[in-house]
Homo-oligomer: A and B are copies of this chain.
Amino acid sequence: MSGSKCTRLGGPLVKQVLESVDSVLFDCDGVIWRGDQAIPGAAQVINLLKENGKKVFFVTNNSTKTRKMYADKMNTLGFDATEEEVFGTAYCSAMYLKTVCKVEGKVYLVGSNAMKQELEAVGIQQTGVGPDLISGKQLDWANVPLDADVKAVVVGFDEHFSYMKLNRALQYLSQPGCLFVGTNRDTRLPLEGGKAVPGTGCLLKAVETAAQRQAETVGKPNHFMFDCVASQYGIDPNRCLMVGDRLDTDIMLGSNCGLKTLLTLTGVSTVADAEAHQKSGCAERQGMVPDYYVDSIADLLPALQG
């Protein structure tokens, strides 16, 4: 696999790259699907990789679904996938709190029902899910009743995010020893037609600004996401390929963990973005330059069928 980075993956090189790896990690949105539509050919690629003996995993920063919800969606869209192959930030944050933070007590959760379920599945209780509207005045907010068992504040995607949740997070985080974990820092969730809605990174920034503290983040590009897969399945980073559509999360994760990296152009980032990083001369930005790129993961099909 010699040569320069950011090479178009095509022709005989596809087979060569696939033969050099035993496992492939896929980001989901913008890579294997967009919203509720599978990328054409993606299911065939995933299924053929598995038939060819590759281990396949799904690694996503989206915290709104449990492993089971992801597996169900994949099966509906024709992907051969089990929940054990899914590593989303709802599940990985629960693992992080249990195995890295070893949190003993409850979590104040700014997040989804899916996160609640994944936390409970590893034996961590939470408080906070659902709407939390304002009442009273400043002094009431500052003295809002707190759950004495709460030992960590966790921030994921939460469509019920509110000033009162921000305030409650601040009050918990002002207590000595309270842990502070975020699922990820993605600032936007991109949708079709160039549209986007605010991502978890916006909510996390608000809480960090109020608390005057930085959260530990679990999601890509933090290597914990890969560690989570690797520790359970004994993955050799040298023989692993990370496939994603975002340079700052997917490709950076691959670089951080010593994986081979493949950018697919069906999502957020472009080849021009990658080349700008490459030419920047900035060491940190080199981690956002993929080894290879394809227009779509469907470009892997001929090599798998041949």
Which A residues lie at the B interface, using CB under 8 A?
Answer: 35, 131, 133-134, 138-139, 141-143, 158-163, 166-167, 170, 174, 187-189, 191-192, 195-199, 201-203, 205-207, 209-210, 212
Q: Do B142 and A197 have beta carbons less than 8 Å apart? A: yes
Q: Which of B139, B201, B206 contacts A202 (CB 8 A)?
A: B206
Using Cβ atoms and an 8 Å threshold, which residues of chain B touch A187?
209-210, 212
Q: Do B139 and A191 have beta carbons less than 8 Å apart? A: yes
Using Cβ atoms and an 8 Å threshold, which residues of chain B touch A134?
159-160
Q: Which 9 A-B pairs have the closest CB atoms?
A: A198-B210, A206-B206, A142-B195, A161-B163, A202-B209, A202-B210, A202-B206, A205-B209, A134-B159
Which secondary structure characterizes the binding site on chain A? mixed
Question: In the bound complex, how far is the Cα of B213 from the Cα of A198, in angstroms?
Answer: 13
Using Cβ atoms and an 8 Å threshold, which residues of chain B touch A138?
35, 189, 191, 197
Using Cβ atoms and an 8 Å threshold, which residues of chain B touch A141?
197
Using Cβ atoms and an 8 Å threshold, which residues of chain B touch A159?
134, 163
Question: In the bound complex, how far is the Cα of B198 from the Cα of A139, in angstroms?
Answer: 12
Q: Do A195 and B131 have beta carbons less than 8 Å apart? A: no
Question: In the bound complex, how far is the Cα of B201 from the Cα of A142, in angstroms?
Answer: 17
Using Cβ atoms and an 8 Å threshold, which residues of chain B touch A166?
161, 198, 202
Q: How far is the CB of A60 from chain B (nearest CB, A)?
A: 15
Q: Kindly report which residue of chain B lies nearest to residue A134, judged by CB atoms.
A: B159
Using Cβ atoms and an 8 Å threshold, which residues of chain B touch A198?
163, 166-167, 170, 206, 209-210
Question: In the bound complex, how far is the Cα of B44 from the Cα of A108, in angstroms?
Answer: 47
Q: Kindly report which residue of chain B lies nearest to residue A140, judged by CB atoms.
A: B197
Using Cβ atoms and an 8 Å threshold, which residues of chain B touch A142?
191, 195-197
Q: How far is the CB of A130 from chain B (nearest CB, A)?
A: 11
Question: In the bound complex, how far is the Cα of B289 from the Cα of A109, in angstroms?
Answer: 40
Question: In the bound complex, how far is the Cα of B161 from the Cα of A206, in angstroms?
Answer: 11
Q: How far is the CB of A191 from chain B (nearest CB, A)?
A: 5
Question: In the bound complex, how far is the Cα of B192 from the Cα of A160, in angstroms?
Answer: 29
Question: In the bound complex, how far is the Cα of B143 from the Cα of A143, in angstroms?
Answer: 38
Using Cβ atoms and an 8 Å threshold, which residues of chain B touch A170?
188, 196-198
Question: In the bound complex, how far is the Cα of B206 from the Cα of A206, in angstroms?
Answer: 5
Using Cβ atoms and an 8 Å threshold, which residues of chain B touch A139?
35, 191-192
Question: In the bound complex, how far is the Cα of B138 from the Cα of A189, in angstroms?
Answer: 9
